[in-house]
Amino acid sequence: MTEVFGIVGVPIIELGGACQAEDMNYYGFRNEQAAAYAASAVGYMTKKPGVVLAVSGPGMTNCISGMANALVNKWPMICLGGAAESTFEG
């Protein structure tokens, strides 16, 4: 079963709901850095990629530490960044 970690908020929450509908385990976090570390730890423990979802911009930069940790330790991890539609801006 795929483990997906992400933040709780627009636009990631919709994708998180879609992951749950596909029988994936989705874990909501309040911070992308914590989600990225959790995904890298799952990669280490299961030898299957942990997946982290983050919003674009600052959300993706918050994932850098977890991604670097996975890279240096050769743990499988996938990081996906999303952005809201332009109608949500402002």
* Distance of alpha carbon 46 from alpha carbon 40, whole angstroms: 10
Query: Closest Cα to residue 62, out of 84, 42, 44, 35?
Result: 35
pLDDT attached to residue 70: 96
* Distance of alpha carbon 7 from alpha carbon 57, whole angstroms: 14
Q: Residue 27 sits in a domain of what CATH number?
A: 3.40.50.970
Q: Which residue range forms the structural domain that includes residue 32?
A: 3-88
Count Cβ atoms below 10 Å from residue 46 Cβ, excluding itself: 14
pLDDT attached to residue 3: 80
For residue 11, what is the DSSP state?
T
- H or E segment to which residue 89 belongs: none
- Classified as helix, coil or strand, 86 is helix
pLDDT attached to residue 37: 96
Beta bridge partners, 82, equal 55
Q: What's the number of domains the chain is made of?
A: 1
| 90 residues of the chain, pLDDT tens digit each | 678 887 766 677 777 788 888 888 888 888 899 999 999 999 999 999 999 988 888 888 999 999 999 999 999 999 988 776 777 666
